[in-house]
Amino acid sequence: MRKKAIILTWINDCEYNLKLDTTKTKGDDIALAVNARGGVNSRIVFVDGSCAIIAVTIADEEIETAYGMCKIN
């Protein structure tokens, strides 16, 4: 797997955007299309103890997925 240079831009304490840094790495057609449409947006929508539900919107589309992430002690 090749390493990719990513630009992370925080929007607020619970939300950030990810885009491929095309000045440092080449992207494939899909990555470049996602970049052109705003990148990948992730936001924390719910926190329960040491776990969070994170919603991800790709390329500014209504298509959204969510996943959980927990801190393991």
> 36: which residues sit within 8 A by CB, 6+ positions away?
none
What's the predicted TM-score (pTM) here? 0.73
Give the model's pLDDT for residue 62: 56
Terminal Cα-to-Cα distance of the chain (whole angstroms):
29
Report d(CA 23, CA 38) in Å as an integer.
16
Give the model's pLDDT for residue 14: 92
Measure the CA angle with vertex 17, ends 73 and 37; round to 5°.
145
Evaluate if residue 65 carries a pLDDT over 90. no
